[in-house]
Chains A and B, each alone.
Chain A
Amino acid sequence: MSAVAIEARPARRGSISRDRKKAMYWSYFFLMLFVLFFLTPPLYMLIMSLKTSGEIAEARFPWWVFHPTFDNYWSLLGSENFQNFFINSTLVSLSTVVVTMLISIPAAFSLSRMKFWGSATLAAGVFLTYLIPETLLFIPLFKIFSWVTEFTGIELVNHWWVLIFIYPTLTVPFCTWIMIGYFASIPKELDEAALIDGAGWLQLLVRIFIPVALPGIIAATIFAFTVSWADFLYPLVFTTSADQLVLPAGIVTTLIKGDVFEWGRIMTAALLGAMPPLLIYAFLMDYYIAGLTAGATKG
């Protein structure tokens, strides 16, 4: 056979690497846009929190701090009210997470695994309840509370702990829904193997499902914590006295007096209040993403 010289062809225009580069530039462009859009408010809060009331009132240049100070931080951290809000928020959120998990995990397990009559409809119903906004729910809830007070004499309004009963109406449906999705991604053979190994339904849930579905459960936990930590409407409606308030309502009711806005302290309080969820996300981000995307990638 005669040797045939193969000429190297010049790379075509619009080759894969060129296309990829182009796509990368656009990705970076839009990502930067997103980052700017979402990080500007917290940055602005940080700048404001480091200013004195006088500098804020001067409104010389809002994007720079000329005389940075931590006064707002010290005064808030030393304030009994703010400490109270923080403790109330922590207690309410942690309790809500516990209550939510105690209801959602067994609910999701039974709806996804113990196929019974109407289970599919119930699962859809769980999600539909999540779609009802709290602005529609707070008036009927208030009404129910007044009936309870009327019949039992137990005063439910203006107690921080009442939020522990209210928040699960927001968190349970969503957490149940995402966990149904996660549980469904766990191979059925795993339960069957455990059933043959001698496990009952409860042992199956506790010893197999919960450990295997941990990323999904952590995602649901983070969601429940964030919702109960950040909710504004319910605490505003159901709690009034300063010692019963939680952070979001507390900041607004104590730092806005009539038409006087203590902007520096409001921004500082909001930043401090955002810290716990931020830290939780930072440490558990991988679990959160794994939990939310589980159904999409696993068989």
Chain B
Amino acid sequence: MAQVTLRKVQKTYEETPAVCGIDLDIPDKEFVVLVGPSGCGKTTTLRMIAGLEEITAGEIAIGGEVVNDIPPKDRDIAMVFQNYALYPHMTVYENMSFGLRLKKTPKDEIDRRVQRAAGILNISQLLDRKPKQLSGGQRQRVAMGRAIVRDPKVFLFDEPLSNLDAKLRVHMRTEIKKVHQHVRTTTVYVTHDQVEAMTLADRIVVMNAGHIEQVGTPHELYHRPATRFVAAFIGSPAMNMVPCGVEEAAGGLRFRLSEDLSFPVPRERSERYRPHVGKGKLLFGLRPEHMIEQRPHVEPGQQPFEAKPVVVEPMGSESLVFFVLNGVEACARVNPDCGARVGEPLKLVADLRHVHLIDDETGRIL
């Protein structure tokens, strides 16, 4: 088991930068998820840790040892690939034991480790089968089993659930979490699915265009995003971002969303937002769950307003109501029994305790 350290790590493909000098410290036993859109450099970063990509500049250390020039096999890592990469001509047992056999591990030790891993993953009955006789979920378990038997310093997962159907993905997500709780190996996990990132990670690293946007626990990223990118990327449906201004009014500062809609700035934020009074290019950010239907009892911080739904999506436990706010589409998460109908005015409240003011030019959260 070991910590992983990245120092000013860069990767350039023929002048095109893929990873632009990132710094990251992953402590021992931590489950870190690299998340971001396609082409953000997350997979490249993982492959550099694995030793499958050379580093253009910077330094990667595993367990305190710089591994820049160490080949993958000597880094003591195990990797689970998106398409499983099981050896098709070998049985599950042979697949899982391949690495140990190459290391000339004694047979009874190999057997002990394979049986243990198979037990953890509940695949003991599949050991004699070939990969083509397995379902997607079973193949994924075998791929994880192959990683577990090696008892490596670090687990690397490259979008391991992308090839599974939605239901199985949720199930395997739980399995991966259970396995990590059981073996406690430092894990770096790459995904583009923010739900996967939120549910699995001890800490999430949000990447964008080769840079790290923010590192934090799922709770931190969700409630205190540092940038507009993180705010928009984490959470589904995405955070509403409505162009606004901040103005001085009789009762204090107000967010001005349109000519006839403004909300008071929460008192504790007044000083923070005062320098932005009268400035343009600001966004009013509020997550859909903080825009709900108006209830008889209004909580402190909740401000009523009226919206005309253009689309209502019933989800069963809740309904998503889409409406236009200052020229952009916004979404509210309401009780399915609140009677939201397309075209009929709906009374909503905005919970301003959770509001974010975003500088549209720099993308920073103010």
Q: List chain A positions with a Cβ less than 8 A from chain B.
A: 187, 189-190, 192-200, 203, 207-208, 211-212, 214
Contact = CB atoms under 8 A, between A and B. Distances in A.
Which 6 residue pairs across A and B have the least CB separation, nearest first? Answer: A197-B99, A189-B85, A193-B85, A198-B73, A211-B89, A198-B102
B234 interface: no
A212 B98 contact: no
Contacts of B98: 194, 197, 207
Nearest to B88: A212
Contacts of B51: 196
**Helix, strand, loop or mixed for chain B's interface?**
loop
B230 interface: no
Nearest to A197: B99
B87 A196 contact: no
B50 interface: yes
Interface stretch (B75-83, B266-274, B352-360): B75-83
Nearest to A190: B85
Contacts, number: 56
A195 B71 contact: yes
Nearest to A214: B89
A83 to B, nearest CB: 40
30 contacts: A187-B83, A187-B85, A189-B81, A189-B82, A189-B85, A190-B85, A190-B87, A192-B72, A192-B81, A193-B79, A193-B85, A194-B98, A195-B71, A195-B73, A196-B50, A196-B51, A196-B52, A196-B72, A196-B73, A196-B79, A197-B73, A197-B99, A197-B146, A197-B150, A198-B99, A199-B102, A200-B73, A207-B98, A212-B88, A212-B89
Given A187-B85, A193-B146, A196-B72, 8 more contacts: A189-B81, A193-B86, A193-B87, A194-B87, A195-B71, A196-B52, A200-B73, A212-B88
Band of interface residues on B: 20 to 34
A194 to B, nearest CB: 7
B52 A192 contact: yes
Nearest to A210: B89
Nearest to B90: A211
**Helix, strand, loop or mixed for chain A's interface?**
helix
B297 interface: no
B218 to A, nearest CB: 28
B167 interface: no
Given A189-B83, A203-B102, A195 B88 contact: no
Scoring B51, B71, B85, B146 by chain A CB atoms within 10 A of each residue's CB, the highest score goes to: B85
A195 B73 CA distance: 6
B182 interface: no
A187 B88 CA distance: 11
A298 to B, nearest CB: 12
B79 A198 contact: no
Contacts of A214: 89
A214 B87 CA distance: 13
Contacts of B72: 192, 195-196
Contacts of B87: 190, 193-194, 208, 212
